[in-house]
Amino acid sequence: MNSDYQSDYKKTYNQKNKIVTMPLSNAFYNELKRRAIILDIKTNTYAKNIITSFLNNNVPKTLTQDQKEFIQQYIHISRGIANNINQIALKSNLNEVVDINILIASLKTYEDEFKKFITKA
């Protein structure tokens, strides 16, 4: 049964996809590999992204490690603010007193983090 499944899968895959191989000079391969390492993806995946993006007249859909870290930091700060707002909403819905001084200090901290974040970009 498993053998039939694999055979059918391979047959369907080969009908829908083609493997492309081509020689590259060492200089071109090393540059391709270097760029793939920077993007933290495999060399073949990077080559495929370049080719398909070119054929689709698109800019390659890859992010550098720095860009990924930038986005992660942005998300972290944004989630902190959202969490803070949710806590305030919960307390007000429960008719609990919200300490304005704590609220302002917390928002000031996030504002300072965003200022550092933005000036770093």
* Rounded Cα gap, residues 50 and 67, in angstroms: 18
**What's the pLDDT tens digit per position in 4-40?**
888 888 899 889 988 888 898 999 999 999 989 988 8
Residue boundaries of the structural domains of the chain:
2-62, 66-120
Residue located via tokens 């803070």: 84
**What's the pLDDT tens digit per position in 17-27?**
888 888 989 99
Pick from 52, 57, 46: which is nearest to 18 by CA? Answer: 52
CB 49 within 8 A of CB 61: yes
**What's the pLDDT tens digit per position in 31-80?**
999 989 988 899 999 999 888 888 887 665 677 777 778 888 888 888 88
Pick from 31, 67, 58: which is nearest to 47 by CA? Answer: 31
